[in-house]
Structure 1
Amino acid sequence: MSDQPATQAETHFTGDSPETLTLLKTRRSTGARLLDEPGPDRAQIAEMLTIAARVPDHGKLAPWRFVVIAGEARARLGDAAAAIVKADNPDGEEAQIEKARGLLQRAPIVIAVISRARPHPRIPEWEQVLSAGAACQNLILAATAMGFRANWITEWIAFDRRFLDALGLAADERIAGYVHIGSSDAQRSHRARPDLADIVTWA
């Protein structure tokens, strides 16, 4: 055993952490349309993504990546979504087209969490997909801990191949979620959660 002191990254934290437990017990999503400026800056986003990437990852595959959608990119990708809706519904209502155009403009920052699970000789793709989901959860927890509000959603733009191409996804990549991040003063009511008796058994 080494006598060298542990580095900060290797330190094992012990005891209760009330702030962390409170965050985990009280976190609530905020509707994307309720998110407004200010959003996180580049340094804050980098910190959030560092935390998002710190998830269980069997084999150290990093079976996920992130696309930060901010500024002009929100409008450009909104135009792509609107064009798809118009192509599929040439006689559709203008409101439908504008709704599609605004999907990525509701919050100041949208981060696409992309699953890049692939066949592996030892590690099931399912485990890789779950790791991407964990990255989404870490991201919204990090945003909340930093004082922002967040919402993890998908919608049709997570599944339409034409939109995924516009976003730059490879053929074998999928969207695990779009995490919308911003600020909001909206009050969040308590949401009923499952009773443990209904979801827990002891083997």
Structure 2
Amino acid sequence: MDALECLMTRRTAPVLAGPEPTREQLDQILRAAVTAPDHKLQRPWRFVIVRGAGRERLGEALVAAARAADPGMPPEVLERQRMKALRAPLQVAVIASPKEPSPAPRWEQLASAAAAAQNVCLAATALGLGSGWKSTPLGEQSPLREVLGMQSGEELLGLVELGHVPADARLRPRVAVDVGSVTSELGGERLSAYVPPSAG
């Protein structure tokens, strides 16, 4: 699979099954993650691999974090939080760890960490695996921060689920985007509309 095919065919998998990625596959994924653009080489990201019994611990932390955010949260909602940790055989928590002070502004460091998360998804696709980048509104709650070993100033960008896509899984078709509607061109005195080759 070449790079463009990987970019164009990557999809978020709604369901993932075992087995979990091999250690060799996981190592390749992590090596790809750290090739993200990184202005001033700050290495403003880190990763926590959640597998095996660690999934149960993460589930407990999600429940505790949800209770901390809303003490009146109904039991069925808490159970849905717990199950988020068990949806895939393995998860990679992507944590933005911006350096301060730094010659690179914080926003650039957060962007680098997001690019690292995207690289995890792309590398999984290239290896024939499925992935799903899932966010959570509970990243500031101490139970979740503690289980992931997060320090002050760090941000949880999400949990990237990894596994195998079942043969009968239905991936949502990619919604077509009109590139011209989100692109302008500055080639002269003023901005002009971008005209794709097919329309030229």
| TM-score class, shorter | 0.7 to 0.9
- What is the CA–CA distance in structure 2 between the aligned matches of 1:107 and 1:121, rounded to whole Å? 36
Task: Determine which of 91, 96, 116 is the counterpart of 1:110.
Answer: 91
Task: Determine which of 11, 27, 48 is the counterpart of 2:10.
Answer: 27
* DSSP-derived class of the 1:171 partner: coil
Whether 2:61 is the aligned partner of 1:80: answer yes
Compare 140-149 and 92-101 and name the one that shifted more: 92-101
Compare 82-91 and 163-172 and name the one that shifted more: 82-91
Q: How does 1:54-73 map to 2 (within 5 A)?
A: 54-73=35-54
Q: 1:65 to 1:90 in 2, by over 3 A?
A: closer
Q: How does 1:134-145 map to 2 (within 5 A)?
A: 134-145=115-126
- What is the CA–CA distance in structure 2 between the aligned matches of 1:115 and 1:109, rounded to whole Å? 20
2:139 aligns with 158
Answer yes or no: is the 8 Å Cα contact 2:98–2:154 preserved in 1: yes
* DSSP-derived class of the 2:84 partner: coil
Using structure 1 for the length normalisation, give the TM-score.
0.83
Q: 1:158 to 1:83 in 2, by over 3 A?
A: closer
Q: 1:110 to 1:157 in 2, by over 3 A?
A: farther
Q: 1:202 to 1:92 in 2, by over 3 A?
A: closer
Whether 2:21 is the aligned partner of 1:40: answer yes
1:155: how far off?
1.7
Q: 1:77 to 1:63 in 2, by over 3 A?
A: same
- CA-based RMSD: 1.8
1:133 aligns with 114
- What is the CA–CA distance in structure 1 between the aligned matches of 2:22 and 2:75, rounded to whole Å? 34
Q: 1:87 to 1:40 in 2, by over 3 A?
A: same
1:176 aligns with 157
Task: Determine which of 147, 170, 173 is the counterpart of 1:187.
Answer: 170
Q: 1:178 to 1:91 in 2, by over 3 A?
A: closer
1:122 aligns with 103
Gaps in structure 1 of 5+ consecutive residues: 1-17
1:121: how far off?
4.5
Compare 159-168 and 135-144 and name the one that shifted more: 159-168
Identity among equivalent pairs (%): 34
1:10 aligns with none
1:7 aligns with none
Task: Determine which of 81, 86, 90 is the counterpart of 1:100.
Answer: 81
Letter in 2 for 1:155: T
* DSSP-derived class of the 1:131 partner: helix
- What is the CA–CA distance in structure 1 between the aligned matches of 2:72 and 2:183, rounded to whole Å? 50
Using structure 2 for the length normalisation, give the TM-score.
0.84
Gaps in structure 2 of 5+ consecutive residues: 187-200
1:3 aligns with none
- What is the CA–CA distance in structure 2 between the aligned matches of 1:103 and 1:43, rounded to whole Å? 25
Compare 140-149 and 38-47 and name the one that shifted more: 38-47
- What is the CA–CA distance in structure 2 between the aligned matches of 1:149 and 1:165, rounded to whole Å? 28
Answer yes or no: is the 8 Å Cα contact 1:58–1:123 preserved in 2: yes
Compare 76-85 and 97-106 and name the one that shifted more: 76-85
- What is the CA–CA distance in structure 1 between the aligned matches of 2:105 and 2:93, rounded to whole Å? 23
- What is the CA–CA distance in structure 1 between the aligned matches of 2:158 and 2:63, rounded to whole Å? 20
